[in-house]
Structure formats: C-alpha cells, structure tokens
C-alpha cells in the first residue's frame, strides 16, 4: 500500500509514520511542502493520504480543501481545532475521515482502515447514483422519442414504444440509442418540442 503523508511539520508527520510502522507492505511518502501538492501526490499515486494540518489558518485550510477536491483518494485529515463550517467544508471536499485533536500513533492503523472503508462506501454510493441518473436520463429520452412518434405518426404510446423496440432489435442497438437518434433527427428537422 502506498501512503502519502502531507504535513509541513516533520515532528507531526513522524507520529503518523510511527503509527504506520506496524503495518507490513506499506510504502510511505512524506510531503512537507504545499508547493505543487497535487502534482506531487499524482506522481506518488498513493492508495491513501493522511493530511495533518495542526491548527491551520482559514487560507491554508481552503488550500488543502482545493487539493482534496482535486484528488480521488481516501483522505484522513487531522486538525487540532475545528468548527462546524470546517467539518462541512472538509466533507464537501472529499475528506473521508476528519479527526479533531486526535493525532496519536496508536490510532493511525484503525483510522487507515476506517478511511479506506468510508471512501469505498462513498464511491459505491456515487456509482449507484450515477447509474440511476443515467437510467433516468435514458428513460426521459425514450419518453421524448415516444412523444415524437405519437405526434408525427399519430400512433398510441404502446405502438410508438413497439416501433422503438423493433428498430432496436433489428439493428442490435439499445432502445435508448434509437430514442436518442429519433430525438436528434427530430431536432435537426426543426420540429423540436
């Protein structure tokens, strides 16, 4: 497992390194500079990122949230103090685990597991949402194509759907693809609804 530790303080980073020392097969990279952070992390390609910010200013915190949003990795963030706005912003930025005043070596391994599991659960939910949205968009496209066929050919909804289905089967394509072609052709003809 490749682990990136982001911390401008070497002493705080060493606490995380100590907590990870008990895990076998870990390759640890410690980044102490904020300059080019996204590029540095992309080059490392870590499986998980630990960010220890101590007591950051609002500007530093926002900078790290920008970095978090740009990365698609499990992220555990440690801060000394926090408020509701910071917690909400960190969640919006994609931070999987947000730990306030809890940096200790013995907590690192369990936090690693929790961070990865939360990230995976969130990724599954995102994938399910994207799939549901895609199916809904396809359903809307099919309904629009049926309305076009019903209007232009004067047929009922079941007949319009049967025509779409028949064309999909005869061309070995999905009904949604045929529906999209019908809608596109209709829009090109200038009869858009």
- The predicted structure's pLDDT at residue 56: 67
- The predicted structure's pLDDT at residue 63: 73
Q: pTM of the predicted model, to two decimals?
A: 0.68
Contact (Cβ atoms closer than 8 angstroms) between residue 47 and residue 3: yes
Residue 145, classified by CB atoms within 10 Å of its CB into exposed (0-12), middle (13-18) or buried (19+), is: buried
35 backbone dihedrals φ, ψ, rounded to 5°: -65, 125
Q: In order of start, what are the domains of the chain with their CATH numbers?
A: 2-103 (3.40.50.2300), 131-188 (1.10.10.10)
Residue 167 CA to residue 188 CA, distance in Å, equals 20
Tell me the per-residue pLDDT of 139-181, one tens digit each, with 9 for 90 and over. Answer: 999 999 999 999 999 999 999 999 999 999 999 999 999 999 9
- The predicted structure's pLDDT at residue 22: 83
Contact (Cβ atoms closer than 8 angstroms) between residue 18 and residue 50: no
- The predicted structure's pLDDT at residue 77: 86
Tell me the per-residue pLDDT of 99-133, one tens digit each, with 9 for 90 and over. Answer: 888 788 888 989 999 999 999 998 899 899 999 99
User: Which DSSP category does 120 fall into?
Assistant: H
**Mean pLDDT score across all residues of the chain:** 87
């Amino acid at each position: 497992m490749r682990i990136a530790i982001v911390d401008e303080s070497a002493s705080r980073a060493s606490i995380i390194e100590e907590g990870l020392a008990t895990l076998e097969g870990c390759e640890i990279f410690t980044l102490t500079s904020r300059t080019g952070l996204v590029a540095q992390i992309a080059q490392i390609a870590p499986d998980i990122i630990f960010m220890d910010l101590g007591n950051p200013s609002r500007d530093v915190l926002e900078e790290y949230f920008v970095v978090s949003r740009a990365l698609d990795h499990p992220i555990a963030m440690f801060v000394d103090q926090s408020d509701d706005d910071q917690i909400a912003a960190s969640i919006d930025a994609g931070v999987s685990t947000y730990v306030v005043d809890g940096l200790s070596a013995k907590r690192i391994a369990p936090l690693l597991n929790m961070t990865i599991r939360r990230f995976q659960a969130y990724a599954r939910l995102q994938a399910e949402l994207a799939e549901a949205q895609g199916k809904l968009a396809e359903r809307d496209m099919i309904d629009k194509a049926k309305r076009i066929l019903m209007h232009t050919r004067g047929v009922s909804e079941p007949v319009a759907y049967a025509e779409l289905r028949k064309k999909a089967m005869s061309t070995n394509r999905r009904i949604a693809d045929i529906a999209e072609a019908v809608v596109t052709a209709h829009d090109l003809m200038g009869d858009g609804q």
